[in-house]
Each structure stands twice: as structure tokens, then as C-alpha cells.
Amino acid sequence: MRMHSSGRRARQHGLSFLGLVFIAVVAVSAVAIGGKSVPIFIEYQAVTKAANKAAREGTTVAEVRAIFDRAATIDSITSIQGSDLEVTKHNERVQVAFSYSREIALVGPAYLVYRFNKQTP
């Protein structure tokens, strides 16, 4: 009995070593950036919560800023202070606005910058 060889090589499927290394580098980079970004977004949530509390409870600019600073001390907010808040009144309701940025150093001169702007309702 004679076996026939078709002359075609069986085609291999899969991932090359270089492809695997590339995917690993991308995954590690994403985890590293995500690990540095999560605390920034947690702090942003704390800033928003403190600004909303200050707008609800304060009636003057000084009160609003003091309430925010107390909440910032409790929640370890370091990116913004009460003196950085813009406090206004709209229809007898106190509104608090804030704007700040945070950056993450990536590689060399490259940075990832987050800019936060918010105004309480």
C-alpha cells in the first residue's frame, strides 16, 4: 500500500513567541496604568461627595470651604482644597464647582493627564 503525499505542508495555527511577548507587554502596561488610575478616580469620587455635602450644608463661602476641608481631611483628599472651590448662589441655592488635574508619569517625557471639572446641581 502506498501513501500519497499531497506536497502541502500542514498549516500551523497559534501564536508566535513574539506575538505572545507583545500581548504580555500590552497587558502589563494596561495593568500598571490601571493600577495608578484607580486611586485617582476614587479620589475624584471623594471630591465630588465632599463638594455635594458642602453645597448642601453650607450657606456662606467660608462655611462651604470649611465643610469641604473637613471632608477632605477625613477622605485624604490631596488634589484640591476648599480654597480652590468656586462657590456661587443660584436661586438661593449654593453651588460648588471645582476643576483640577492629575497626571501619571508613563515613560520618559510621556504623561497621562486626567482633568476633572464638575459643578454641583
For the stretch 3-46, pLDDT in tens is 555 556 677 778 889 989 999 999 999 999 999 999 999 999 99
Angle ∠(52,57,59) on CA atoms, nearest 5: 110
Q: Say what the pTM is.
A: 0.78
Q: What is the pLDDT of residue 3?
A: 58
CA angle 50, 51, 57 (to 5 degrees): 85
**Least confident window among 2-6, 50-54, 61-65, 104-108:** 2-6
Query: How many Å apart are CA 94 and CA 83, to the nearest integer?
Result: 16
Between 121 and 84, residue with greater pLDDT: 84
Quickly tell me which residue has 500542514 as its cell: 10
Strand-pair partners of 100: 116
Whether 50 has a pLDDT exceeding 60, the answer reads yes
Cα–Cα separations (whole angstroms), residue 64 to 9, 26, 92, 101, 117 = 76, 44, 14, 21, 18
> Above 90 in pLDDT, residue 113?
yes
What is the Cα–Cα distance from 30 to 34, expressed in whole angstroms?
6
- What's the rounded mean pLDDT across residues 108-114? 94
Average pLDDT, the chain: 90
